Chain A
Amino acid sequence: MTFEIPFGPQHPALEEPINFMFEIDEERVVNVKLRLGYVHRGIEKIAESRNYQQLVYLSERICGICSFAHTLCYSQSVEELLGLEVPERAKFIRTILAEMERIQNHYLWLGLTAKEMGFETLFMYAWRDREIIIRMLDMISGKRVNYGVNTIGGVRRDITESMIGRIEESLKHLEVRAEYYTKVCTKDPLILRRTVGVGVLRPREARALCAVGPTARASGIAHDIRADDPYAAYGEIPFKVVTYRGCDVASRMYVRIDEIKESIKIIRYALKNMPDGPIRVRVPILMKVPKGEAVSRVEAPRGENLHFLKSNGSDKPERWKIRAPTLANLSSLCRMLIGINLADIPVVIAGIDPCIACAERVVLIDSKRDKWKIWNGKDLWRYANEWYRKKYGF
């Protein structure tokens, strides 16, 4: 039985369609197989025929949500090859925007996860608050997504005095909201029932499967690129690496909410201590980059983002390798899914913050009856919420 329900165009998180093949025994997931590549755009191949300036724009479009992390990572690797020192002010502006993007992403995630649980009010609340930070990003960059602020040698937009006032104001509001979400997510019976002890990833497994970002930090691994391998202005800003030991979806939620609070503090500190001066070093548009290779790492909202760039001395790169955080977390996701109830699948998948809208189709094999069912994301979502409603009456 196949349904064709458009799960699509308007959805803001549509970016990574992925196929999971679940083998189930009654209602337990026994095995998971995954298949990627439905939107493989061949960016690494295209990059070999573009020059370095064009690639700034291409890197902006790798991901719609963490576009700033990708341009930052790419620009840093080119700057390293050129031996370019970015002005101090530019480093602070980069830090501020990266943290604003993190807040934006975590609110997006909170909303989507709430929606997976059938908690539509929280979804609306979280996205309303996300709108505030998006307006701030719009004010600085002129765009709501794909900011176009990063460039090789610095940033293209400055943060002025009048902007600082407005950002401070919205941060104050967001901080109050973050406190509220902590309260909701630690007390609400529906959220607790759906997340505590669900999708467990033990620290040993997280380490072996190379989990990154909030997924790893929710399993008690204090691993954060901002602290381990400081870039931009993170070396000068004090902040705390948030970890939780619950290893479940609830911990992943608490890590992200606490990271929002931590990001607000980082932005405040950076705005106060931002030095004056130029915001970029001009580089020629058609430039040749000296031979060499560079690895750049950035803590994107979803985890470690790695760009490897090799130059052959011409104006086009020899090889540009991108590893986005979702790929690193997929192995861990497969581990989390094994042994869980069918009804918990949506929440667990949402837990690592992939682009869940993209679970375009799910194939279920009932290992006892040897029957195939093809479900799409919406059917699974409906099934999960029905199951919990019947059992606990939510």
Chain B
Amino acid sequence: MRRSEIRRELRIRARDIIVQRDRRFIVNIEKKSLKRVIRRLLKMKNYTHLSTITALEVGSKIELIYHIAFTDALISIKVQISKDEPILPSIVDLIPGASLYEREIHDLFGVKFDGHPDLSPLLLPDNWPEGVYPLRKWWSTDRTLSKLGGKR
């Protein structure tokens, strides 16, 4: 897969596409164009599946990376959203397999996915306090012990 092909298929600016190495591409996009880009990706030749969604903290923002696999490349779609209002449209209607990944991020990072049918806890226990997202940087493993009890 080549950079020009991604640019042409996704209809995005060339400077938003970064070639990391052979077979690895990063595409930076805005929150509002997420669904449009995913829809176009699905129509591309050689598309195989959504590998996973990674969430991480970047300063005051949360970055979501959609790793989309092709038979000859892996494209990472990056979207940044603010920590104060972590809402993103869900892509479950386009890729049903994204459901568990979105629920995982909802549990661990507190990102809300608009349009996801069921965002009930998947990983965290039933007595987990509200508004606490364990993979955010301010949270530490010691805090888990003090909140839930138990010893190291």
The answer to whether B97 touches A328 (Cβ under 8 A) is yes
The answer to whether A37 touches B97 (Cβ under 8 A) is no
Contacts of A207 in B (CB 8 A): 48-49
CB proximity to B under 8 Å, residues A290-341 = 294-295, 297, 304, 306, 308, 310, 318-319, 321, 323, 327-328, 330-332
Contacts of A294 in B (CB 8 A): 20
The answer to whether B72 touches A210 (Cβ under 8 A) is no
Which residue of A35, A40, A308, A331 is within 8 Å of B99 (Cβ)? A331
The answer to whether A44 touches B135 (Cβ under 8 A) is yes
The answer to whether A223 touches B71 (Cβ under 8 A) is yes
Expressed in whole angstroms, the Cα–Cα distance for A46 and B140 within the complex equals 9
Apart from A308-B52, A319-B57: 20 A-B pairs, beta carbons within 8 A:
A36-B122, A36-B123, A37-B122, A37-B125, A40-B123, A209-B96, A210-B49, A210-B95, A210-B97, A223-B71, A228-B70, A297-B51, A306-B51, A310-B56, A321-B54, A321-B56, A327-B100, A327-B101, A327-B104, A328-B97
Expressed in whole angstroms, the Cα–Cα distance for A37 and B134 within the complex equals 13
| Given A45-B141, A208-B95, A323 contacting B100 (CB threshold 8 A) | no
Interface size on B, residues (CB 8 A): 39
| Given A46-B141, A228-B71, A295-B24, A304 contacting B56 (CB threshold 8 A) | no
| Given A36-B122, A211-B49, A321-B54, A297 contacting B97 (CB threshold 8 A) | no
B127 to chain A, nearest CB (A): 12
The answer to whether B135 touches A323 (Cβ under 8 A) is no
The answer to whether A228 touches B99 (Cβ under 8 A) is no
CB proximity to A under 8 Å, residues B66-86 = 67, 69-72, 74, 76
A379 contacts chain B at the CB level, 8 A cutoff = no
The answer to whether A208 touches B97 (Cβ under 8 A) is yes
Q: Digit string of B33-59 for contact with A (CB within 8 Å is 1, else 0)? A: 000000000000000111110101100
Which residue of A45, A212, A223, A319 is within 8 Å of B56 (Cβ)? A319
Contacts of B71 in A (CB 8 A): 223, 228
Contacts of B141 in A (CB 8 A): 42, 45-46, 49
- Which residues of chain A have a CB within 8 Å of any CB of chain B? 34-37, 40, 42, 44-46, 48-49, 80, 207-212, 216, 221, 223, 228-229, 294-295, 297, 304, 306, 308, 310, 318-319, 321, 323, 327-328, 330-332
Contacts of B135 in A (CB 8 A): 44-45
B27 contacts chain A at the CB level, 8 A cutoff = no
If over half of B's interface residues share one DSSP class (helix, strand or loop), that class is named, otherwise mixed; here it is mixed
A274 to chain B, nearest CB (A): 24
- Which residues of chain B have a CB within 8 Å of any CB of chain A? 20-21, 23-24, 48-52, 54, 56-57, 65, 67, 69-72, 74, 76, 95-101, 104, 121-125, 134-135, 137, 139, 141, 144
Of all chain A residues, the one with the shortest Cβ separation from B46 is A228
Contacts of B69 in A (CB 8 A): 228, 297, 304
Contacts of A297 in B (CB 8 A): 51, 69, 74
Expressed in whole angstroms, the Cα–Cα distance for A34 and B104 within the complex equals 13
Please give me the 10 A-B residue pairs with the lowest Cβ-Cβ distance, nearest first.
A210-B97, A37-B123, A323-B52, A210-B49, A319-B56, A209-B97, A321-B54, A308-B54, A228-B71, A208-B96
Expressed in whole angstroms, the Cα–Cα distance for A44 and B55 within the complex equals 11
Expressed in whole angstroms, the Cα–Cα distance for A378 and B85 within the complex equals 46
Contacts of A49 in B (CB 8 A): 141
Expressed in whole angstroms, the Cα–Cα distance for A92 and B40 within the complex equals 39
Contacts of B52 in A (CB 8 A): 306, 308, 321, 323, 327-328
| Given A35-B122, A45-B141, A308-B67, A319 contacting B97 (CB threshold 8 A) | no
B28 to chain A, nearest CB (A): 13
B22 to chain A, nearest CB (A): 10
B35 to chain A, nearest CB (A): 16
The answer to whether B48 touches A228 (Cβ under 8 A) is yes
Expressed in whole angstroms, the Cα–Cα distance for A37 and B50 within the complex equals 22
A sample of 14 inter-chain contacts (CB < 8 A) reads: A37-B123, A42-B144, A44-B135, A208-B95, A208-B96, A212-B49, A304-B51, A304-B69, A306-B51, A319-B57, A321-B54, A323-B52, A331-B96, A332-B97
A248 to chain B, nearest CB (A): 20
The answer to whether A306 touches B67 (Cβ under 8 A) is yes
Of all chain A residues, the one with the shortest Cβ separation from B125 is A37
B110 to chain A, nearest CB (A): 15
Expressed in whole angstroms, the Cα–Cα distance for A295 and B141 within the complex equals 26
Of all chain B residues, the one with the shortest Cβ separation from A227 is B71
Most buried by A among B21, B100, B124: B100
Which residue of B50, B74, B76, B144 is within 8 Å of A229 (Cβ)? B74
B135 to chain A, nearest CB (A): 6
